[in-house]
């Protein structure tokens, strides 16, 4: 029994040491990545986007994009409604194929 207790203590110690090692390694890796990224961000900043020109075609495209972002497209709503209607017609509980005694 003493041998079994010794094995459990050794297993617990190894598990704890492994967890501490992994936690330390991941913490150091996160710190290293953040330091490197901040230095790279200073050296290579993001490009500044150009202002959009007042173009009619781009205005129409932007309007369509905003319409789709604000809500669901009417075509999608029509397709879903049609699919639900067909499903209800096929799986109507009062149909002769689904009657129970």
Structural domain spans, the chain: 1-44, 63-92
Query: What is the mean pLDDT of the segment spanning 14-20?
Result: 98
Mean residue pLDDT across the chain:
81
User: What gap in Å lies between CA 36 and CA 24, rounded to an integer?
Assistant: 18
Count other Cβ atoms within 10 Å, centred on residue 68: 13
Confidence at residue 101, expressed as pLDDT on a 0 to 100 scale: 43
Query: What is the mean pLDDT of the segment spanning 86-91?
Result: 92
| pTM flag (> 0.75) | no
Helices and strands of the chain, counted as H and E runs: 3, 0
């Amino acid at each position: 029994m003493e041998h079994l207790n010794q094995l459990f203590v050794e297993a617990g110690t190894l598990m704890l040491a492994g967890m501490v090692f992994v936690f330390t390694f991941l913490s150091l890796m996160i710190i290293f990545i953040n330091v490197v990224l901040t230095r790279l961000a200073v050296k290579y900043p993001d490009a500044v986007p150009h202002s959009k020109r007042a173009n009619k075609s781009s205005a129409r495209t932007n309007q369509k994009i905003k319409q789709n972002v604000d809500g669901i497209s009417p075509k999608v709503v029509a397709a879903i409604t049609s699919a639900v209607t067909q499903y209800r017609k096929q799986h109507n509980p009062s149909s002769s194929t689904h009657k129970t005694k």
